[in-house]
Amino acid sequence: MEILVWVGAGVSVLGLVGLIWSILRVARAKRANLSDEDLRAAVQKVVPLNMGALLLSVLGLMMVMVGISLG
């Protein structure tokens, strides 16, 4: 079950990278001094990425926990 722990850790890292990328995209949009409506549209485009990255992180951590429990 050691492989499950490592795969889960990799999936969690991918999720973390996605979260950091979504944070950077929103920060870049804020620094661009967009109008309120344009900023809202930019943030709405990032929401699916953010949710997907959170899902990957959670699934990866669950894989790690299952691997530890079974191993």
Neighbours of 67 (CB within 10 A): 18
Where does the pLDDT of residue 71 fall: very low under 50, low under 70, confident under 90, or very high at 90 and above?
confident
Tell me what pLDDT residue 1 has: 87
* Residue 65 reports pLDDT greater than 90: yes
Average pLDDT over residues 59-67: 97
Tokens 């997907």, located at residue: 52
CA distance 38 to 48: 17
pLDDT digits (tens, 9 = 90+) for 15-61: 999 999 999 999 999 999 899 999 999 999 999 999 999 999 999 99
The domain limits of the chain are 2-70
Task: Provide the whole-model pTM.
Answer: 0.87
